[in-house]
Amino acid sequence: MRTFDIEQIRADFPILGREVNGRPLVYFDNGATTQKPKQVIDAITRYYADMNSNVHRGVHYLSQISTDAFEVTRRKVQAFIHAKHEHEIIITKGTTEAINIVASCYGRAFINAEDEIIISAMEHHSNIVPWQMLCDEKGCKLRVIPMNDRGELDIEAYKSLFSERTKLVSFTYVSNALGTVNPVKEMIDIAHEHDVPVLVDGAQAIQHVAIDVEALGVDFFAFSGHKMYGPTGVGVLYGKEELLNKMPPYQGGGDMIKDVTFEKTTYNELPFKFEAGTPNIEAGICLGDAIDYIESIGLDVIKDYEEELLAYATSRLSEIDGIRFIGTAAHKSSVISFVVDGVHPYDIGVILDKLGVAVRTGHHCAQPVMNAFDIPGTVRVSLAMYNTKEEVDILIEGLQRALRMLV
Ligand SMILES: *Cc1c(COP(=O)(O)O)cnc(C)c1O
């Protein structure tokens, strides 16, 4: 049994020791990005101090060790999400780029006029707009899985959206605006009964839930390094080998080619076909250190701790007069969105910031979710493994103080 030593974990994150506006930082904006442990920060410095060199190119020593380190990360990702092959792991800039690769390459090749793509009512803009752009280009159509007033997807309605024309399904594992955890396996199975491939946006899941892409049977899976204690500027597109092989490349350039002449270019094999140009090398390498860090603690242990914290925070917030939770699904993860009667979320955010408490306010890149609840935005508290009940108590005190000033 691994134990969860919160003091040790907090000590790993240097930024948690700083003050903001004269108060100890309380960081509850983990849904936007997580802080980084010193293991990741040190690895970034080590990369530049010890091995900086371009990857996949040189015969010289430094290029070989940086290439090896970059490829080690690919294998760590493969093991972390239980992919069958390492070449099914495409290193991208983040979730957004990963989804855009599928929209551009799969979409360009296999989705045509009048075809349909199913997404859900709770998607992040990065899982809406790439499909809309494809629809504008190709004349295909978006179908949207509706949700109920608790912020849960309507699975019966989802089933009824399928037709001969359905070519792809794309939805989020965990909603960044509501915290809803979707019944991913069931939804994938339903799509596969219709022989339709599925992309899952894992940006809010990868740091909270153990992922097994083979067991899920998911066709594409996307996530970002910076929301899982790793560097910004790196993320992953997992894709089934068979689908990736069928898809045309994304961008053209170095690394993604085998031979180039002015008459004809042949493309490199997977995964390099989708990795044109010099990648964010240091972020790619240090994503591996973030995975090591998470694994050294254990996602099972992290999940238990975060669930306890979510329950505590939800119950303490319920004490606030006039609070309305946005997103009350039976199955939730690490995100609490709320509004308070008669108070603008932004004003709450500003006062909390003065007290050193960082929360997110606004539409959280999910305007259709806000429209569905008929609100302009929410206050969002999103948790990470280094948050504590004491920090929740500071939030509650701050919130009570803010409301005394605002109501
Ligand atoms: C953050 C987020 C994205 C976009 O990730 P980037 O790192 O900005 O590319 C997509 N979907 C969800 C659910 C997110 O939370």
* pLDDT tens figures, 52-89: 999 988 899 999 999 999 999 999 999 999 999 999 99
Q: Give Cβ neighbours of residue 376 (< 8 Å, ≥ 6 apart).
A: 345, 363, 370
What CATH number labels 42-295? 3.40.640.10
The finding on whether 172 has its CB within 6 A of some atom of ligand 1 is yes
Residue pointed to by tokens 């694994």: 295
Q: What is the full DSSP assignment across 209-238?
A: S---HHHHT-SEEEEESTTTTS-SS-EEEE
Residue pointed to by tokens 């609100």: 375
CB of 382 closer than 8 Å to CB of 360: yes
Atom of ligand 1 nearest to the CA of 96: 9
The rounded Å distance from CA 95 to ligand 1 centre is 5
The rounded Å distance from CA 130 to ligand 1 centre is 13
Length of the chain: 407
User: Which part of the chain is CATH 3.40.640.10?
Assistant: 42-295
| Closest residue to atom 12 of ligand 1, CA basis | 203
> Ligand 1 test: best mutation among 30, 119, 176, 226, most atoms within 8 Å of CB?
176
CB of 271 closer than 8 Å to CB of 91: yes
Model confidence at 1, pLDDT cuts 50, 70, 90, reads low
The pLDDT of residue 57: 80
The finding on whether 333 has its CB within 6 A of some atom of ligand 1 is no
The finding on whether 120 has its CB within 6 A of some atom of ligand 1 is no
| Closest residue to atom 8 of ligand 1, CA basis | 96
The pLDDT of residue 23: 97
Q: Which of 105, 135, 140, 365 is catalytic?
A: 365
**Left if phi > 0, otherwise alpha if psi is -120 to 50, otherwise beta: which for 166?**
beta
User: Which part of the chain is CATH 3.90.1150.10?
Assistant: 6-30+298-406
The pLDDT of residue 267: 92
Helix pair 299-317, 389-406: axis angle to 10 deg? 30
> Ligand 1 test: best mutation among 206, 365, 367, most atoms within 8 Å of CB?
365
The pLDDT of residue 56: 87
Atom of ligand 1 nearest to the CA of 33: 1
Answer yes or no: CATH 3.40.50.1860 is held by domain 6-30+298-406: no
Model confidence at 358, pLDDT cuts 50, 70, 90, reads very high
| Closest residue to atom 14 of ligand 1, CA basis | 203
Question: Which amino acid is present at 372?
Answer: A
- Catalytic residue flag (residue 365): yes
The finding on whether 30 has its CB within 6 A of some atom of ligand 1 is no
The rounded Å distance from CA 106 to ligand 1 centre is 20
The finding on whether 203 has its CB within 6 A of some atom of ligand 1 is yes
The finding on whether 96 has its CB within 6 A of some atom of ligand 1 is yes
Q: Which two tokens stand for residue 85?
A: 């092959």
pLDDT in tens, 132-154: 999 999 999 999 999 999 999 99
The rounded Å distance from CA 173 to ligand 1 centre is 11
Mean pLDDT of 165-186: 98
The finding on whether 126 has its CB within 6 A of some atom of ligand 1 is yes
Q: Which two tokens stand for residue 365?
A: 């890149």
Give Rg (Cα) of the chain: 22
CB of 196 closer than 8 Å to CB of 162: yes
Mean pLDDT of the chain, nearest integer: 97
Mean pLDDT of 197-210: 98
